[in-house]
Amino acid sequence: MTKRVAMRQAVPEDLPALRALAQASLVHDSDAEAIVELLWSSAADDCRIVLEHTDTAIGTASSGGTRAADTTQVIGFALGSLRPAQDAMPATGHIELIIVDPEHRERGHGRELIAELERRLIAADATRLRIRGNPPHFAWPGIDIRYTPAVCMAAAAGYERLLDCNSMLVDLAAADLATDKDEQRLTDAGIEVRRGRPEDEHALRTWCDEEFGGTWGQEAAMALRKSPPTLHVAVRDGAYLGFAGHGMQRADMFGPMGTAEAARGHGIGAVLLRRCLADQRDAGITVAEIGWVGPARFYSKTVGARLGRVFWAFEKSVAFEKPVAAEKPVAP
């Protein structure tokens, strides 16, 4: 019997195998299959890679000669995305997900996948590589440090630690999510709090872009396209004062949320937060995750959130010249 391992471009028909690998490997993420779908959809065209293991068995044919039978198994995959250069920011390649079947680890396959994905991202003009969420389509802000082999692989591949990120967890059964009194107080002040509507998309995205920048406008639009929209807004005299959304990327995730600087101090954010968390509770979610947390004290005080997952983000600069294409076959 002979064995060989090779990489190739992934195709949609590989998705069942990729979902199964993710489910077996992402032990700290109960929605592993949905994560694969999310990151597959946002991956760069040439940055979906599978690693295949093929066994070739030599047997005897009925005619008396020999015959070879191949058994091929997907044992790993990698997904990457590209953020084009914008303003002063260089084109950035993002290592989104690398998974190797637990039974095939400790053989260098993870290093081979990351090297091939880097080659493809650099060929697509990336001059900086990151292991960090690439909004608006991202699953994490970095590597959950409980996936310790992934942290070690990043360091071994030459990545430097960029920053730490935290999430917070909310027990939705225990949290006080009532908003009636606060909503009445806001109504008395001429502020309407309501669920977002599909027709809000253009104006809300424009307002988010002007007020906050970044990708919040795109994420708000994603929430408004869901049925029902997973976003709530505060409005006064037709002008947006604040917004909050959930489930844009992952069903149990809350955020982003923002209140216009001039409208702060009215308790708008607390109402929007509670309305979103109530949506998640009503959908059967028991613990909500507030991702990429900024004001931890606000969330702790408002809904009893506690600090949860810790993520490390990584970065590596690369040479400007495009690398020579590597051989596709990989030694077993």
**Per-residue model confidence (pLDDT) at position 62:** 57
Q: What is the pLDDT of residue 3?
A: 74
DSSP β-ladder status, 239-246 and 253-259? antiparallel
Stretch among 99-113, 212-226, 262-276, 307-321 having the lowest mean pLDDT: 307-321
Q: What is the pLDDT of residue 286?
A: 98
The whole-number pLDDT of residue 180 equals 97
pLDDT at 323: 46
- Is the model more confident about 125 or about 67? 125
- Reduced to 3 states (helix: H, G, I; strand: E, B; else coil), residue 156 is helix
Nearest-angstrom CA–CA distance, 118 and 86? 20
The residue that leads in pLDDT, 281 or 321, is 281
Rounded (10°) angle between helices 296-303 and 268-282: 60
Q: Is the pLDDT of residue 59 over 60?
A: no
pLDDT of 329 reads 43
AA identity, residue 86:
Q
Residue 67: the pLDDT is 59
| Phi/psi of residue 233, nearest 5 degrees | -130, 155
- Stated as kind and residue range, the H or E segment containing 147 is none
Residue 320, pLDDT > 60, answer no
Contact (Cβ atoms closer than 8 angstroms) between residue 99 and residue 141: no
- Please tell me what DSSP assigns to residue 54: E
Rounded to an integer, what distance in angstroms lies between the CA atom of residue 76 and that of residue 99? 5
CATH class of 2-164+313-330: alpha beta
Parts of the chain belonging to CATH 3.40.630.30 = 2-164+313-330, 173-285
Give the DSSP H/E element, type plus range, for residue 62: none
235, 192 in Cβ contact below 8 A? Answer: yes
CA distances from 306 to 35, 80, 287, 290 (A): 24, 31, 11, 10
pLDDT digit string, tens, across residues 157-173 = 999 999 999 999 999 99
- Contacts of 135 by beta carbon, 8 Å cutoff, 6+ apart: 214, 215, 218, 219
3-class DSSP state for residue 121? Answer: helix
59: buried, middle or exposed (CB in 10 Å: 19+, 13-18, 0-12)? exposed
Judged by phi (left if over 0) then psi (alpha if -120 to 50, else beta), residue 267 lies in left
Q: What confidence score (pLDDT) does residue 321 get? A: 44
The model's pLDDT over 11-45, given as tens digits with 9 standing for 90+, comes to 999 999 999 999 999 999 999 999 999 999 999 99
Domain 173-285 class, CATH top level:
alpha beta
> If you write DSSP's letter for every residue of 102-117 in order, what string do you get?
GGG-SSSHHHHHHHHH
What band does 140 get if pLDDT is binned at 50, 70 and 90?
Answer: very high
pLDDT tens profile 248-294: 999 999 999 999 999 999 999 999 999 999 999 999 999 999 998 88
Q: What is the mean pLDDT of the chain?
A: 92
For residue 71, pLDDT over 80 is answered with yes
- In the predicted model, is pLDDT for residue 324 greater than 60? no
Amino acid (1-letter code) at residue 21 = L
- The pLDDT of residue 322 is 47
